[in-house]
Amino acid sequence: MRFIKQHLWDILIWGLVGFFTVLYASLIFNINVTTDEIFTLKLLKTDIPGIISGTAADVHPPLYYFYAYIYELISPQNIRLQKIATIIPMTGTLIYVVTVVRKRIGDEATFFTLLFFTCVPCTMEYAVQIRMYSLAILCVTVCGASAYIAYSENRIRDWVFFVIGAVGAAYLHYFSFVAVCYEAGLLFLALIYDRFTGRKKDNRLLRWAISIIAMLILYAPWMPYFYRQVTSVRESYWIPPIDAQTIWGYFTWAFDAETFTGFVYVYIFMLVLVGLYGIYLLVKKKETGMIAAFAAMLIPTMTTVSGTLISLRKSPIFCGRYVIVAMMMLALYFGIIFGKLAGKGGVSRIIALVVTAFLLLSGAIQYKECFVQEYRGHYTAQTVEFFDKYLGENDYVVYNYEAMEFVYDYYFPADRLVYVKDFDLDSDYDHVWFLNTYNEWPITELDCMEHNLDMRYLGIYGVEGCAVQLFRIDHK
C-alpha cells in the first residue's frame, strides 16, 4: 500500500497508456478495411517511385506511405501488421506526453490530458486505421510541445524537435501542415512580444528563423507537388459543401457517440467551463501558464476555421476528421486547466471524480462502437472466405455498383472482375457470381430467360460496409 501511495500518479498515468494500447491492439484481429485503407494497401504493392507518383496524383503527401512500406516489406499486404504500424505512433504520442510534457505540466494535468484524448469519441478509430492520422497526431504534438519547450528553455535539441515535428506533419497531411504552421506562428508572436516588451533579449528569435528556413529547405522537394495538389482540387471533390449542418457535424463527429447521442453537449459544456476557469486563473490569479493551454486550444480551432473558410471560398476541401491531427493539443488545453481544478481538493476533487467517470463511460462506448465496426459491422470476412472457397479459374465476379470497382479490385482478381454493363452473359464461363447492390443496374429473370441462364440467390454478402445480394448464374 505504501508503494502504491508513493507511486499513485505513475500507476494511473502509465496504466492509462498500457490499458488503451491493449484496447487498440484488441481491434486489429480482422480484415475489415475502408476505401481509404484499400488505397493505402494498393499503393504499398508498388515501389518507392510508385508511391511518390501515386501520392503526387492523389491529395496527400507521401511520408506515411514510406513509413507503411517498411512494414509491407516485412509482410506484404498484412492488414494486422499495418494496423500495428498505426498503433505504434498513437501509443508513441501517449508516451511522449508522459515522458516529455509531464515534466512541464505536472501529474494531474498529464492524467487528464491522456484521459480526455483516449476517451473522446473520435480518437480510437484512428489508432488502428491504416492511414496517416496517428503518425500526424504524433508529429503535431511533438511540434507544438517542442515549440513551447524551446520558448521556455531555448535548448538546441528542442528547436531540432520543433523542426522535425513540423516537417513530419507537413509530409503527412495538409491539415497537419496547417496545424504546425499555426504552432510556428504562435511561437513567433510570443517571441516578438518578448522582444518588443523587453522581457527577454536572447537568440530565440534567430533560432526560430533558422528553424523556419530549415523547414522550408526540407520541404522544398515536395513543394511542386504540394502546389499542384492544392490547386487541382475541383468542385467534384468528394467532400460535401459547407453549411451550418456540416459545421455542427464537426462537433458531433468529435464528441458524440453513434449509439448514445447527446455526449457532444456534455463535452462542449466541459470545454467551455474549463475555458472560463482558465481565464479566471489567468486574469485573477496571474497564472501565466494558462496562456500555453489556450495556445494549445487554438491549434485545432484555427485549423478547423481555416479549412472551413477555404472550403467556403473555393471548393470543399475540409471535413471534420482532418482536425484529428490536432486533437492532442485540445486534450492538453483541457488537461492543463482541469488539472489545476482537480488538484485543489474538496469539492474540486468530487468534480474531478465525476468528470473522470464521464470520460471513462465515453471511452467505453467508443470502444464498443469501434469493436462493432471492426468485427461485426461488415460482411467482409464471410465474403472473402466464400470466394476463397468457391471462385473457380473460369468464373467471373460481376458487380453493378460502378463506384465500388476500386474496392472490389482489391478483393477479386482483376481479370475476372467485370462491371455488369460490360459483361457478355453469353460468353464462356463456369459460374458468374453477381454482386447486386440495391437500386443499381440488375441482372433480371428476364435476362436469364433470354440468355438461357439459371440464377440462384445465395444470401447477403459484401465488403467495406457495402452489403450486396449474391447470386450465382450458370448456363443451363
pLDDT in tens, 368-388: 999 998 888 778 989 999 999
Q: Residue 450, Cα to own-chain centre: how many angstroms?
A: 50
Residue type, 452: N
Averaged pLDDT in 10-residue chunks for the chain of 476 residues = 86 97 96 91 93 87 96 96 98 98 96 98 96 98 98 96 98 96 97 85 93 98 88 60 87 92 95 96 91 97 92 78 96 97 85 96 96 86 93 95 91 94 94 94 91 95 89 94
- Residue where the block lists cell 504499398: 44
Q: What is the mean pLDDT of the chain?
A: 93
The confidence score (pLDDT) of residue 376 equals 80
Cell numbers at 342, concatenated: 482537480
**CA atoms of 169 and 177, how far apart (whole Å):** 6
- Are 310 and 230 contacting, i.e. CB atoms less than 8 angstroms apart? no
Q: What is the pTM of this model?
A: 0.93
**CA atoms of 145 and 104, how far apart (whole Å):** 10
The confidence score (pLDDT) of residue 310 equals 83
The confidence score (pLDDT) of residue 200 equals 73
Q: Which helix (H) or strand (E) holds 473?
A: strand 466-475
Residue 282 CB burial class (10 angstroms; 0-12, 13-18, ≥19) = middle
**CA atoms of 284 and 458, how far apart (whole Å):** 71
**CA atoms of 330 and 328, how far apart (whole Å):** 5
